Structure formats: structure tokens, C-alpha cells
Structure 1
Amino acid sequence: MSAEPSRTHLVLIPSYNTGEGLFSTVAAARAQWNPVWVVIDGSTDGTGERLAAQAAQDDGLRVFVLPHNQGKGAAVLHGLQAAQAEGFSHVLAMDSDGQHPASLIPAFMQQSLQRPDTMVLGRPVFDASAPLLRVRGRRISNGWTQLETLFAGIGDSLYGFRVYPIGALIAVMRAQPWMRRFDFDTEAVVRLAWRGVKPLNIDAPVKYLTAEEGGVSHFRYGRDNVLLTWMHTRLMIEFVLRLPVLLWRKVRGLPPFQA
């Protein structure tokens, strides 16, 4: 396990009813980084209690247990606020279900340490396990994201393996009531880009586990695609309203989005 704790960067893992896969994800993350924080988002599968007992024996692991399920974005915000209160500047967010490559945590953190003004974004490399419908569907979301950010260079809008600057992301989330559920990942990168936080993309594999392999997915095609559609509608309205200022800045030779 990574021995020396970072004073600026931590790994943050939100989890809701992930089952046994959570423990292998946490173990893989701890083997690469210190500290690792987990926010149990109202899970009812007993993983919160078991992981809290494990954390009592590991100074590099901290567990927060929320009383009821609030959504991925809300769980991340809980961790962000706790991290900011303890002086951390960046978090690497990753999913708890084993899809994300823990082996790349040091590389992503190193890029963030070198460029702390950026958001370091995973750009997914799919294998044969990826559902074709989801691969095609994310192209639509990515297209809208490119337009909403004036082609700022966001490699992928949905892949949740990322390093965020804590202060900027908290400011974005406190400013509006959205980004609390599945809409978190996409809206976070769009609004951070609007604040002038530049993306830095790194290729990273993504693995879709079957149920037999312990894979757990809370994605619901109907419900969550409606949520994404509503999110992009809101973002496009805001984008259109600010477009005159963006074009004026472009004519003046200024970057369209300011930090």
C-alpha cells in the first residue's frame, strides 16, 4: 500500500450498494494512493459497516456513511467539503464498481500536481465488454458537451475517473441545485470549463463487469437518459444566453471562458 499520505490530493470513491466489489476497488486504490476516502451513499448492503471496521485498522482509509441515498453528485460533494475543510486541494473521483483503472491513479495525480489549474479527465478506451448502446449514447452527450463549451477539448463527458480542483468544483455545485445524481459527471466538466478550468485528457481503459463477475450498475436507460436530456437542455439555455459575451471576447482575442 502507498505509505506516505499526500497533503493535497486524495482518492474519493462514492458508493451505493456495490456489494463485494467495493472492497476490491478500495484495496486496489489503497495499493496506489494514500489517502483514500469512501462515501457510503445510504447503502443497505452492509458494506458501510464492514468498510468502517476496515478503516479503523488503516490510517490511509476513511469512510463516511450517509444516512440515506442522495445520489452520486451529493455523495461527492459531501467528500469534497470534508476534504476542503482539511486543507486538500484536489480529489481523484472514481467509481466503486471496478470499472475504473486504479493502476492509473499515480499517473493522473502526477499530471494534476504538475498542472493544478486543470481538471485531469479520463478518456475511456472500451473493450468488447462495453454495451454498444451506451457507447453510442455517450457520443450524443459528448457532442452536446463540445458545443456547450465551444470545443474546449473535453475528451469525454461521462467517464467519472477524474482529478478535480476542489475549490472550483464546490463553488460550481453550491451555485445551483443540480449535479446531485447521474447528471454530476457531465455537468461538472461543462461548468468547470465555463469557469476557465482547462481539461487535460488521458486515455484510460474502462471495464464493464457482468453480474457473474460482480458487476453492479444503477444506470437506468429511461430515467437517466431523461435526466441527461434535461441537463443538456438547461446547459444549452445558459450557453445561448452567454453566447453574445463569448463571441465578443473571441473578437477581442480573449479566451471565451475566464478562471
Structure 2
Amino acid sequence: MAHPAGSVLIVVPTYDERDNLGPLLARIHDALPGADVLVVDDASPDGTGELADACAAADDRVHVLHRPGKEGLGAAYLDGFRFALRERYGVVVEMDADGSHAPEELPGMLDALAHTDVVLGSRYVPGGRVVNWPWHRAALSRGGNVYSRLALGVPMRDVTGGFRMFRREVLEALHLDSVASQGYCFQVDMAWRAVRAGFRVREVPITFTEREHGSSKMNGAIVAEALWRVTLWGLGYRLRRAGPPYGEPPAARPTADPADPAPGPAHR
């Protein structure tokens, strides 16, 4: 089924998020009534997938993609992106299932996308904030972002955040089949690819709120993978300055009217 250029698909990976899913879907559709949601469930043992199926049966704006097991955040998003491209959605959104990303901020992010190619919801630009995080999580997040910026030379202040929007043209150009990163370094990988390919990336402030139900999926293996991969990418980047590793910048990209205001810091 083909969708119009402005159509929105929100990709929500899930693993044991049964308590969070119903309220999240309701808030999303209150904020963006015309958006579709794709729940990508990794065979959650708590019944999240079955609840998602029931929600899809009751609302044709909800779709479900069942995966055979817990295979990582990056792989779940990639499957969701392929679904979005196959179904011809115009805008693709990444969003956590645990309520840490406020659906009420979706309309503002969508407005910002009118002037750029990728919108990153940022905790660390002026106006952004984090609520109810323990100090060690906040320190790990800020440290990871500083390290990624220095290692890769990216200008974004929140390159690890998982609340973001892409125009479909960006995902078509970024060679998704070559993305091997899992965990939270997937977010770094996708943002860096977009910058290297010449797309415009804009950060807008968001409020990130620690989950109320369930447990975080962050663990030592995820942190170690991110540190290892970002270090290798940074070293490789400095050894390959002759050209971008992910292909040439796209020949044509959507452009904003120069007279339009530019909300938030933009990066090229």
C-alpha cells in the first residue's frame, strides 16, 4: 500500500513492555491522530506481542512486526525501517516504548522536519532535560555523547538519543543493509551516516523521563559495544579522509525556504 509523501510511521521496538504499550499508543494518537505506529516485538515473554496484535485489530493505524527473539535494538529498527520503505511512508520516527519519550513532542518535531532532513530529539541542547535519572545513568549518557563527538567529529550534542525523525529519502540513501551496529551505538551510527552523506541534521530540545514500569535494557555489553565501535569508527574515519565510507551525498534533497525560520541548531 502506497502512502502520501507526508505520511508518518512511528517505529516502536518492544521487549517486555506490556504495561507501557497501551498508554503509549493512546498518547501517540492523541498527539498525531494521522500517524501510523509499527510495533516491532522481539517475542516478548510477557505478552507484549499479543497485546500489540489486539491493538492492531482494533485500530488500523497500528501494525505489528513479530521477530523470532531478542536480537537487539538496531536490528529491530532496521526491520521497521524496511517496512516503512516498502510501504512508502514519507516520514519515519524512532521512539522508545517505555514512555521516556513524550508523544506530545511529536508535532513540534514534525514541524522542525519541514526545514531539515533528520530531526534528533535532544536532551542536551538548551531547553532539553532529563527527569528522574540516577546520577550514574546521566553521567554515562553525557560521557558517551562527549566521547562520540570527539571520536567522530560530529557536531550533535545528543548523538545517542533514540527519539528522532527521518525523511524517507535519508533511509533510502544510508545503505541500511551495511548497518551492523546493535544496542545504543546504532543511534550513533545512523546519525553519523546521515551527516557523512550530506544530509541536514537538526537537534530540537526534548524532555526525557525515566520509565515508570519495567526495567531498562541497558547493560554492560551494550556500553562495551558502543565504546568499541565508536573507537573503531573514529580511527577509521581519520585514516580515510579521502572520501565518505557510506557513499556520495545524495544528488537531490528537500530544501527549506530560506525565508522560513530555522528552529534549533542545524548541522551539516
TM-score tier by shorter-chain length is: 0.7 to 0.9
Give the CA deviation at 1:179. Answer: 2.1
Asked if structure 2 preserves the Cα contact closer than 8 Å seen for 1:145 and 1:190, the reply is: no
Asked if structure 1 preserves the Cα contact closer than 8 Å seen for 2:131 and 2:207, the reply is: no
Structure with a larger share of its residues in helix: 1
> In structure 1, what residue type is equivalent to 2:202?
L
Work out which of the residue numbers 120, 140, 149 in structure 2 matches 1:137. 140
> In structure 1, what residue type is equivalent to 2:62?
L
* Aligned counterpart, 1:8: 7
What is the distance in 1 between the residues matched to 2:72 and 2:48?
17
Asked if structure 2 preserves the Cα contact closer than 8 Å seen for 1:26 and 1:96, the reply is: no
Is 1:229 the counterpart of 2:231 in the alignment?
no
* Aligned counterpart, 1:78: 79
Alpha-carbon distance change, 174 to 96 in structure 1, aligned in 2, over 3 angstroms? same
* Secondary structure of the corresponding residue to residue 150 of structure 2: helix
Alpha-carbon distance change, 71 to 81 in structure 1, aligned in 2, over 3 angstroms? same
Alpha-carbon distance change, 245 to 172 in structure 1, aligned in 2, over 3 angstroms? closer
Unmatched 5+ stretches in structure 2:
251-268
Alpha-carbon distance change, 126 to 7 in structure 1, aligned in 2, over 3 angstroms? closer
Asked if structure 2 preserves the Cα contact closer than 8 Å seen for 1:6 and 1:35, the reply is: no
Which runs of structure 2 are paired with 1:1-259 in the superposition (5 Å)? 7-33=6-32, 34-112=35-113, 114-115=114-115, 117-124=116-123, 125-151=128-154, 153-169=155-171, 171-172=173-174, 174-209=176-211, 213-220=212-219, 222-243=220-241, 258-259=249-250
* Secondary structure of the corresponding residue to residue 20 of structure 1: helix
Asked if structure 2 preserves the Cα contact closer than 8 Å seen for 1:120 and 1:201, the reply is: yes
> In structure 2, what residue type is equivalent to 1:199?
V
Unmatched 5+ stretches in structure 1:
247-256
Alpha-carbon distance change, 128 to 68 in structure 1, aligned in 2, over 3 angstroms? closer
Asked if structure 2 preserves the Cα contact closer than 8 Å seen for 1:9 and 1:89, the reply is: yes
Structure 1 segments, 4+ long, off by >6 Å, are none
The TM-score, its normalising length taken from structure 1, stands at: 0.83
> In structure 2, what residue type is equivalent to 1:59?
D
CA RMSD across the alignment:
2.3
CA deviation profile, 1:99-135 (whole Å, cap 9, x unmatched): 00110111111221x13x5210011133451121122
What is the distance in 1 between the residues matched to 2:75 and 2:173?
14
